[in-house]
Every structure is written in structure tokens, then in C-alpha cells.
Amino acid sequence: MEQAKIVVIGAGPAGIATAVEAKVAGIDNVVVLEKKGHICDTIVSLYHEGKRVDPVYRKMKVEPLGVLSFDTETREEFLERMKKVVEEYQLDIRFWNEAQKVQVLDDGFLVQTGGGLEIKAPICVVAIGVFGKPVKPSYPIPKEVKDKVFFALPKEPLKGKEVLVVGGGDTAAETACFLSNDNKVDLSYRREKFFRINPTNMCALEKCCDEGKVKLLMGTDIEGLEEKDGRVLVHFKDGQDRVYDAVFYCLGGMTPRTFLEGIGVEFDGNKPKVDYYGETNIPRLFLVGDLALLKGSIMAAFNTGKKTIEGILEKYGDLVK
């Protein structure tokens, strides 16, 4: 287990700004966790080549409060700018480490990642984007088993269960490995081999398989589910039927709300409850970027990082200095 002063979840503009402002304020040992192999994934994934990145939002210019700012530039110029920021401030970003679970402790937080990291810190800042929606299977999920079918890790951890994880990407591998610590896990993928799992997750999955904690069901496709004796009967297209206590679909996408509610964050309608500094109902857990703003510009996201570090220093300076 690693120790940090602040753990930041997400290496987008807000997460990077938070880490930079912490460095400028003299806070050492800040770890940033990023699920992808690069920074600013929303810009990388959703902005087409040459698309303009603008600090103006809805015709309103946001003045910078902290260190980071920029003028209108292309997607490529902005990404290059952010790479230089990471290098200049020597940010400690752990790529391919999606936060799977955030455990609230008396003295802080324990964050466990799909890449196998466990980081304990008195302060946790969540800087994930607002995009994401779970992809559901093409066949209907019977109402009788809906409470046993999941698209993200539940609030209450499962223990001693027989679990099926469905999917062939990083999230499926991470979920299978994580659940295998306390459960018997099968991983079903419709293809004969994996194509989309990064090397770190592949290594972890192979280790779990070697230890007998995860069983791979390669080349299997599901045609439907039904309830049987309080469990989930899974019908495979090859004629097999298997029964599980729970089924996890990792077909892509996850809502930030699901992740936050899993930690215990309270919502007011669609908006998480936060104060001026972005602190939630859970002491020392802060939200920055779009999670705090719902919608806003990249410059506004930068500013939330500045405000959050100000709040951390004002309220919990003795824990991070």
C-alpha cells in the first residue's frame, strides 16, 4: 500500500490543475490516477482532429484564478500544452489505473485500482468527466433478476458469491480481478482471444487465472437470462446453461453518479452536493471539474482545481503540509 497526501482520480484538465495547484502550494506526494494511457481523454476521444478548444463558454469568458490558463487553440495544441504542464510540474500520474473502489476510512481514503494499486491518503479529489453511460445487452433483463445484474461495482461488496463478468475490455478484466478477491468469478467474452486489454490489466488477469481465482469462458455469447431459485440462470448460445448469484456487464461506459454514490456522495437532483470548495458531504472528499460544475468550460475546470486546493489548505492544511 502506498501513502499519499492527496490522491486525485482522473487526469483531465481539472485533475491536472488540482495536482499543479497542490505543487505550487508546496504540497508534495500527490498521486493522480488515470484509467487510460494518456491525459485529457475527453479531448482525445471526443474532439476531432483540428477542433477548436475555447476558454469561452456560452459566450462568457472565464478569467483564470490559478496557474493554468490558455487562449483559443486547436485540439493538438491544447494536448501538447497539457503534456508540457505535466512535465514542467513533474506530476505523478499513474496511467492504466482506473479507480475501482474508494473506501472511506476514519483517517482518509483507501483507493484501489484496476491496475493493482492501493493508495491511502487523507484527502481524495475526484476529477472524472460527466460523460459515460453503461452499454446494455441487446436482450432484455427480466425484472426478477434486475437486483442481481450490475453495470458497476455495487455499494455493498459481494463476498462468497458465484459471479459472472461479461466483456472483453479493461473494465471487464479489472472487475473480474477485483471481485475474485472474495468471490468465485467466471469471465465471459464472445471472442476467442482478447484484443482490447492493456498489458498491465492482462498481466493481472492472467495471474488471477493461474491462481484459480478467475475462469475464462472464451468464445461464449449469451442469448438471455432468467430467474432460477433466487439466482440468475444464464443461457449461452452454444446451449450451455450456468447459474450465478450475480452478473456484471462491462460492455463499456459507466455513469459518474454510480461511482460517486458507491462512495456515499449525496445528490440534490442530478447535482452532487458540494460546498464552495467542492467538498462533498463526506469530509475531505472533493469534486472538481464538470462534477462540481455540471457543465462548464475547461478554464472553469482549471479554476475548480485552484479553489479546491485553497479549501484543502484552509480546512485540512495540517494533514497535507
Res 271: pLDDT:
87
Contact 125, 304 (CB under 8 A): no
Res 131: pLDDT:
55
The Cα–Cα gap between 7 and 110 comes to: 9
Res 210: pLDDT:
97
Instruction: Using pLDDT thresholds of 50, 70 and 90, give the confidence band for residue 294.
Output: low
Concatenate the DSSP letters of all residues of 270-293 into one string: TEE---TT-B-SSTTEEE-THHHH
* Residue bearing cell 472511506: 104
Contact 130, 256 (CB under 8 A): yes
* Residues 268-275: contacts with CB under 8 Å, at least 24 apart: 270/294, 275/311
Q: Residue 294 has what DSSP assignment? A: S
Residues 175-231 pLDDT 10s:
999 999 999 999 999 999 998 787 888 999 999 999 999 999 999 999 999 999 999
The larger pLDDT score, comparing residue 79 to residue 200, is at 79
Q: Assess whether pLDDT exceeds 90 at residue 42.
A: no
Residues 230-251 pLDDT 10s:
999 999 999 999 999 999 998 8
Let me know if residue 260 belongs to a domain.
Answer: yes
Concatenate the DSSP letters of all residues of 155-169 into one string: SSPP-S-EEEEE-SS
Mean pLDDT, rounded, for 115-119? 89
The Cα–Cα gap between 11 and 290 comes to: 13
Q: Would you call 140 helix, strand, or coil by DSSP?
A: coil
Contact 233, 227 (CB under 8 A): yes
Mean pLDDT, rounded, for 137-145? 93
Residues 13 and 103 in one domain: yes
Among the candidates 201, 226, 249, a domain finishes at 249
Instruction: Using pLDDT thresholds of 50, 70 and 90, give the confidence band for residue 295.
Output: low
Residues 127 and 27 in one domain: yes
Let me know if residue 153 belongs to a domain.
Answer: yes
State what percent of residues in the chain have pLDDT above 90. 70
Residues 81-97 pLDDT 10s:
999 999 999 999 999 99
Residues 113 and 29 in one domain: yes
Q: Assess whether pLDDT exceeds 80 at residue 155.
A: no
* Residue bearing cell 471472442: 191
Instruction: Using pLDDT thresholds of 50, 70 and 90, give the confidence band for residue 109.
Output: very high
Res 283: pLDDT:
97
Q: Assess whether pLDDT exceeds 90 at residue 321.
A: no
Mean pLDDT, rounded, for 137-158? 89
Q: Assess whether pLDDT exceeds 70 at residue 255.
A: no
Q: Would you call 171 helix, strand, or coil by DSSP?
A: helix
Among the candidates 220, 249, 278, a domain finishes at 249
Q: Would you call 177 helix, strand, or coil by DSSP?
A: helix
Residues 148 and 205 in one domain: yes
Res 279: pLDDT:
97
Q: How many domains does the chain have?
A: 2
User: What does pTM read for this prediction?
Assistant: 0.69
Residues 6 or more apart whose CB falls under 8 angstroms from that of 41 comprise: 11, 12, 34, 35, 129
The larger pLDDT score, comparing residue 62 to residue 30, is at 30
The helix (run of H) or strand (run of E) holding residue 84 is: helix 75-88
Which amino acid is residue 45, in one-letter code? S
The Cα–Cα gap between 308 and 286 comes to: 7
Q: Assess whether pLDDT exceeds 70 at residue 272.
A: yes
Q: Assess whether pLDDT exceeds 60 at residue 13.
A: yes
Q: Assess whether pLDDT exceeds 80 at residue 54.
A: yes
Which of 48-52, 163-167, 254-258 has the least mean pLDDT?
Answer: 254-258
Whole-Å CA distances, 252 to 74, 137, 166 = 28, 11, 11
Q: Pick from 19, 29, 105: which is nearest to 308 by CA?
A: 19
The range of the structural domain enclosing residue 112 comes to: 2-131+255-320
Let me know if residue 297 belongs to a domain.
Answer: yes
Instruction: Using pLDDT thresholds of 50, 70 and 90, give the confidence band for residue 133.
Output: low
Among the candidates 211, 227, 249, a domain finishes at 249
CATH at residue 228:
3.50.50.60
The Cα–Cα gap between 216 and 307 comes to: 46
